[in-house]
Structure formats: structure tokens, C-alpha cells
Structure 1
Amino acid sequence: MLDENKIAGFNLSCLPDAFNDVVSFNVINEFDANNSYIYIIELISPSSIAMFILKRLKITSLGQFSAEKLEQRVGYIESNSNKTPNHAKVICVFNSSDNEFKWILEEYISGLTLGDFIERNSCGFNNESKVTELIKLIQYYLSFNQKEVISDKVLAIASINEMIQDFDGVVNVFDLYPDGVFNEEILDFEKALISHSRLLKKKTNGTVIVSHGDFHPWNIMISGGDIYTVDRSRSLWNSPANDVACIIINLFVASLLSRDEEIGEAIFNFSKGVWLKCISESDLKCEILLAFSYFSCSRLPAICCPVFYPGISDLKRRALLKVGTEFLNRPLGFVEDDCSNFYHDFKSIFELNGGF
């Protein structure tokens, strides 16, 4: 339950001096998942009205999101994220009065998310010039992050492990599923994911880049003919496949789940355009192709989760999990340069398992 008095106390006592004149606030939206709470807050001061993202991250000595890992991530956000263009700046990170929570305050970006446009079927995915420009913007953002490359096998392995065990990773997400409904699919998926991750950790060359960490359509704002990203609280050194896989798998699944066949086809073509642009102009193509199936399929449990996406039928959830299991049981790097085998096989297996 939202504790408005507690948040109000934080606003008045913990925000930078620039916000000390805040006299009240309204909660615009609230999202709760696995000890992480995201509030969209409207701060009202005598001189202006502004909206910010206020994200609370729970600090625990046990569990996946440890205090040590949180401090590492916060330090990374403060030192790296604000240098990245087209990203909502982190205004401050501060502790709660009892040191149980960290709060990350980001600037507000006016506009709608790419996910909003997809849900409303109003992004103009059939407008070739608009689609081309949007693909260029996404590719520019990803390519900028790929400029800062280091080789560190420990960090590379940590980024692989994170998809399974950290924050709202697969292990925790499955806890949000209804008891007994998807037991067989969950068990098969977890076995395939763990096996695939072990192979990938042996094969990785240790290449990591500056990563958003959660680059899905609902974290991409479209505003004033440009894109901006929000919610970089999971930002760390990561595989170059991570952000590419995140945006592609979310777009591709959105195309499969679209109730409008024409819109679905347009979103599919958009996702393929993003893929081709990202691969053709990346110096890290080999690293992306090697790990793409892992970093894309490991996100399917979240995409299928009833808490996050309640509108998906159980039949479609089951079909998506089976596709993910099938792909994770395939050899590393089976995805071709144009991703056509990934798209074709994914769609075929999805249909075979009752997805359509």
C-alpha cells in the first residue's frame, strides 16, 4: 500500500535544495513488483509543476538485490548514465530515513512511451518515413552505448547470471505466476535457460558495454521527434546483446499478440528493421549473434507474466514459454545475420503450440 506521508517526508527532507519548496504532490501512477516500487509523482511547488519518476529499491542483506549490488548499481548510474545522450537524467539518489530503501529520482520527459503507441496502434508504423526515422534513433542510441567497450570476463559472466537471479530475474518472476498452472512449462524453461547460460559463460569473450539494462518499449519515450530512455536503474556493464535483444523480443512478441493483423505485420516489420539496422552498423555483431537467443528468450517469462501483462491468454503464455524453451535448447549463435530464422521459427513454434 502506498504510504503517502512517508513519500511526502522524503520529498521535503531528502530531495536536493532545488526541491525544498515542494508543498504537495499527487501520485499519478504506481507499479509494484518484487520489492521495487515505481511511482510517477507530480511535485507541485509555488513556482512550477513538474513530473518525475521516483523509484524505490529495497535494500536487503539476503535475496537477489543485495545492498552491495545496489550500491554498485547506484554508483554506475551516477557516474555513467547521465553522460549518455537521450536519457532522462538521474537528479539524485538518496536513502530513506531507516536506510531500508534507496530512492532514485529522474527528470520527467514529456511524451508517450513507444509501448503506449504500440498499445494504441497509433505510432504510424505504416508510415515508412516515420518508421525509418524511429529506427535510426534507436540504432543511434544503441550504437552510442557500444562505443565504450571493455573486455572483462567477470563482468560478462555477471551479466549472464543477472538474467536468471537478479532483481526481477526469471526465478523471481515465476513466483508471480498462478500456482500449478504452468508448472511443466516453467520447469522445462528453467532447465533450458540454466543449461544455455552455462554454455554461454564458457564461450563469451568477455566483451561488455555501457548498457541501459531494460531497453523495452515502455522505457523509450517519444517526444518532440526524438527518443529518450527512462528507468535506467538496472544499468551496469553488460553484454552488447542485452539491449538489442530486449527491444527486439518485446517488439516481436507485440506483433504476434496484436489483435489487428495489419498493425501486427507493421510492428513485425518495424522490429525487423531495428534488428537489421543494429546488426549491419555494429562492430560487435559476432558478440550480439552469439548471445541474442539467451538475452531475448530470458525475457519471455516477464513478458508472459500475468502481473505485468494481464491481457495475454494462458494459451498464448504457454506457447511463448515453449518457444523460449525450444530456442534455449538450440546451439549458441544459431541466429543468422538477418534474424530471419529466429523470426520464422519463433512464429511457427508459437502457432504450433496454439499461440494463434
Structure 2
Amino acid sequence: MADHEEVESYLSEVFGKPVQLVRIIPMGAEPGEKELKGFGYGKPYLVDYILEGEMRSSVLSSMKVQKGFGHDTFADRAAVILWQNAAFNSLPRHVRSIDAGFFTRHGSLKSAGDADEFFILMDRVSGIEYYRDLDRIRDASFFHQLDVDRALALSDYLVYIHSQKHGDPVLYHRRIRDLVGSGECIMGIIDSYPKDYEFYREEDFERLEKKCVEWRWKLHGMTHRLCVVHGDFHPWNIMFRNGVDFTVLDRSRGEYGEPADDVSCMSMNYLFYSLQKYGELKGEFKELFDRFLENYLTKSGDFDVLRCVQPFYVFRALVMASPLWYPGLAPDVRRKLFKFIDNVVEVEEFDYRDVNGYLKG
């Protein structure tokens, strides 16, 4: 991390006015808090500073240097940061990016050619991550009307952004190709699994990949579906404040894509939490799953999403079943996630009224 003076100088350059840096502290879990999600990319820092006599806060974040998930090289990570800086501000309700820059090899921050790693500077937003609501429902069985209202608000949000279509077949083909073959998605997640994994063997992954390639060609002609998407619409990327007021974070992998991506990402989390509590889709989480999807289908009129969502569910379930991303998950939940994967990838139309049927066999 750059020193105090370097950060202060960088902020003064960005805002074109003198900035007095107050503090830089790492952001993360509260002391003693146990998080289910055990793996992440970068470490964000909270930056407090004074600009024109006003106290302000921003978040400075870079990507963790690591192998895998398509982030192996400096150029891979640079592409993500530069895209985020350009794309965050074009999506309604998304946290605002202020700037993208570089850490140089000498520890300074600037926009220059001797970059060593990229970072992004964003507004700090208030609120509580949505996953904490789902934790409460799972752990304390405390469920009320606001939980339903929030699920509907998230569904309405997707209806709105997905209504903004974009006519570019090449972009649609790329998003579907990346879903199957990129380092961040299906094949990259599969490569991160341990060899001879006890719940799913190499031959199982090979068979699954072949089925997903078939899905790539099933979706190849659906280019008219290309629209504005978030791309990583899960409960860790949503900050709620009072009522149904929220901000989204960290949109991913492109401004446009297949609407089934966002729909699967959120609805899969309702199933995921229900599996942890009940071993099936049941109770409060079934109500959230049903209301979220039914509201989306009714208001968007996009029932074709049920014929496109299968490989996206495979991707999300592979992440959730992963011992790298969710190391503390119960074995029975992993087994049911793989059963869900095996069954969903085979059906031509997803039956959201019989999700538990995909957990059997």
C-alpha cells in the first residue's frame, strides 16, 4: 500500500484541489464475525479525507495478484479495473467510480505508463449487505413483510434494466461464450476444484462441460435478448438502507448480456440459503424465490428466460458448491448442489414451481 503522502498527492490530483488525508484503514468483517464466504479477490481500503473543508470517504480497491479465474496476468487485472471505471457509472443505482489509476513499482499512485498494478477509487455508500438479511432468516427464523418487499424491489430493478435492449449479436455471443469458457465462469471454476474431488469426479466435470457447450449453441441464436445487465447480482453486491432503498456494487463482465444471468444469480441464493436451513427449497426462502421469479416473469413478460437460465444456474451452483469459495459448507448441501447441476443442465425449460425436483435422483 502506498504511503500517506502518496495517497494525499494522488487525491489532490484527482480532485484538482488540495486534499488533507485523515486515515486509510482496511475494510472487512467486524471482529469475531464469521463469514460464510471464505474467498475473495482484493482488499478494499476506506480512505477518509478533507476536501474544501468537508469530510469525505471513498473506497480504494485493487485486485489480488493470484492465479486462476482469468486474472492471471497484470493485463487481465488491468482490463477489469478499467472496465469497472467506465461501466459503474452507467448503471442505475450502482456505486459511483471516481477514478482508476495505478500503483507504480515505487509505491506511488498515478496515471502513467510504468504501472505495476491498477486500482479503482469509488464513492463510499452506506447500508447493510443484503446477505445479512438472508443470514438472519436462516439463523434466527425472523422473517417479515420487508423481506418480501426487498425481494420484489430487486426483481423490479432487473425488470427495469433488462428492458433496455442492445442490438449487437457479437456481444451476446461473447457473453455466452465467456459463460462457458472464460476463467471467471464455468470452465475456470471447474479448474479451481481439487483433483479427484469426492463429490464430483473428473469424468463428471468433463461430461458437464460438454453439456454446457451444447447450451452455448442452443443460445447462439438468441441475440435479440441482449440487454443491460449487472452481471454479478448476488446478495454480497447489494447494500440496503431503510426500507427498499438500495445500491448495487461490482457489476461484472460487461455492460450487456443475457437477462438470465442476473435472474439466476439472485434466485440461486434463495435456494442456497434454503438448502442450508431445510435441505430443500422451503418456507421463507421458497416464498422469496417464488415471489422474486413470478414478479420478474409477470412484469417483464420474458418467459423465454426459463429456456435460457440453465447454464447460468450451473455456473452459480458450481461457485456455491466449491470448497474454495465456500469452505464451511455442509457435505449434504454440496451433494444437493451437484444434483441440481446434473438435473438442470438436462432440461429444455426450467420449472421454477418444482425446484425440489431438481435436487433428487
TM-score by length of 1: 0.80
For residues 100-111 of structure 1, the aligned pairs below 5 Å read 100-111=116-127
For residues 156-171 of structure 1, the aligned pairs below 5 Å read 156-171=172-187
Report the residue type matching 1:45 in the other structure. Answer: Y
1:303 to 1:260, Cα distance in 2 relative to 1, 3 A: closer
Partner of residue 247 from structure 1, selected from 266, 269, 279:
266
Partner of residue 45 from structure 1, selected from 49, 54, 62:
49
Q: Secondary structure at the match of 1:38?
A: coil
Q: Secondary structure at the match of 2:246?
A: strand
1:91 paired with 2:98, answer yes
Q: Secondary structure at the match of 2:193?
A: coil
Report if the CA contact (8 A) 1:196-1:329 is conserved.
no
**Per-residue deviation, 1:252:** 1.4
Q: Distance in 1 between matches of 2:309 and 2:6?
A: 41
1:205 paired with 2:218, answer no
Q: Distance in 2 between matches of 1:86 and 1:235?
A: 17
**Per-residue deviation, 1:191:** 2.6
1:306 paired with 2:310, answer no
Q: Distance in 2 between matches of 1:59 and 1:79?
A: 24
Q: Distance in 2 between matches of 1:80 and 1:172?
A: 23
Q: Secondary structure at the match of 2:166?
A: strand
**Per-residue deviation, 1:49:** 6.3
Report the residue type matching 1:301 in the other structure. Answer: L
1:167 to 1:92, Cα distance in 2 relative to 1, 3 A: farther
Q: Distance in 1 between matches of 2:263 and 2:184?
A: 19
For residues 168-187 of structure 1, the aligned pairs below 5 Å read 168-181=184-197, 182-184=200-202, 185-187=204-206
Report if the CA contact (8 A) 2:38-2:324 is conserved.
no
**Per-residue deviation, 1:161:** 1.6
For residues 196-235 of structure 1, the aligned pairs below 5 Å read 196-201=215-220, 203-225=221-243, 226-235=245-254
Report the residue type matching 2:286 in the other structure. Answer: F
Aligned equivalent of 1:81: 88
Report the residue type matching 1:268 in the other structure. Answer: K
Where do 5+ consecutive residues of structure 1 fail to align?
none
Q: Distance in 2 between matches of 1:174 and 1:123?
A: 34
**Per-residue deviation, 1:99:** 2.5
Report if the CA contact (8 A) 1:209-1:240 is conserved.
yes
Q: Distance in 2 between matches of 1:164 and 1:19?
A: 48
Aligned equivalent of 1:150: 166
**Per-residue deviation, 1:152:** 2.0
TM-score by length of 2: 0.79
Where do 5+ consecutive residues of structure 2 fail to align?
30-36, 105-113
1:283 to 1:103, Cα distance in 2 relative to 1, 3 A: farther
Report if the CA contact (8 A) 2:166-2:228 is conserved.
no
1:120 paired with 2:136, answer yes
Report the residue type matching 2:150 in the other structure. Answer: L
* Greater displacement, 94-103 / 204-213: 94-103
RMSD: 3.4
1:282 paired with 2:300, answer yes
Measured against aligned partners, the alpha-carbon deviations of 1:253-274 in whole angstroms (never above 9, x if no partner) come to 211122699x952012101110
Aligned equivalent of 1:192: 211
Report the residue type matching 1:344 in the other structure. Answer: N
Report if the CA contact (8 A) 1:73-1:235 is conserved.
no
Q: Distance in 1 between matches of 2:23 and 2:326?
A: 32
Aligned equivalent of 2:34: none
1:149 to 1:324, Cα distance in 2 relative to 1, 3 A: same
**Per-residue deviation, 1:79:** 4.8
Percent sequence identity is 20
Q: Distance in 2 between matches of 1:19 and 1:319?
A: 56
Report if the CA contact (8 A) 2:98-2:123 is conserved.
yes
